[in-house]
A = this chain, B = another copy of it.
Amino acid sequence: MHIDPVNILKDHDLKHTKQRVRVLEEIALDTVAISQPELEKKLGKEIDRVTLYRILNTYEDKGILHRIMDMNGTANYAICSSSCTEHHHHDEHVHFNCSNCQKIYCLDVKIPSIKMPPGFTASSINTTAYGICEKCSAGMKAD
């Protein structure tokens, strides 16, 4: 699945700007989520800090990106599945947050359904596993 920033913008009625394209390009580079601070480090010379905040927010609103909070309260962003719409995200997969490299993976694992206690109505659910990722456990053997 190739990401085409220009078409994504068209599809969501967003103006085509070089800043918006750059953000999507950067996020599409890797399959793992990227944190706001990382993005800022990478794009800080090209895009103003405030603009980056605003772009990320509109992408989230539009269902282009989904935001995953890590243990430290840092926002991480990943491309949404194609079924996400402006007002309803459908990214109910499990996330994996590596305690070594800090990366957040969108796993191809569905979140099991959970029965809520009486009176509680869940409209969405979020699960994140913490541990050692694929790459880091391979790397540690080598050390």
Point out residues on A near B: beta carbons under 8 Å: 69-71, 73-75, 94, 96, 99, 105, 107-109, 111-112, 114-135, 137-138
Q: Which of B73, B94, B121, B130 contacts A73 (CB 8 A)?
A: B73
When distances are taken between beta carbons in the complex, the residues of chain B under 8 Å from A73 are: 69, 73-75
Copies in the complex: 2
Residues of B within 8 A of A134 (CB): 117-120
Contacts of A131 in B (CB 8 A): 116, 120-124
Given the known interface contacts A73-B69, A120-B96, A138-B119, the answer about A128 and B130 at a Cβ–Cβ threshold of 8 Å is: no
Instruction: Verify B109–A112 contact, CB threshold 8 A.
Output: no
Given A69-B73, A75-B73, A128-B126, A114:B121 Cβ within 8 A: no
Give every chain B residue within 8 A of A137 (Cβ-Cβ).
119-121
Q: List 23 A-B contacts (CB under 8 A).
A: A96-B116, A96-B120, A107-B117, A109-B114, A109-B115, A112-B112, A114-B129, A116-B129, A119-B133, A119-B134, A119-B135, A120-B133, A120-B134, A121-B132, A122-B130, A122-B131, A123-B131, A124-B130, A125-B130, A126-B127, A126-B128, A126-B129, A127-B127
Q: How far is the CA of A131 from the CA of B119 in the complex (A)?
A: 11
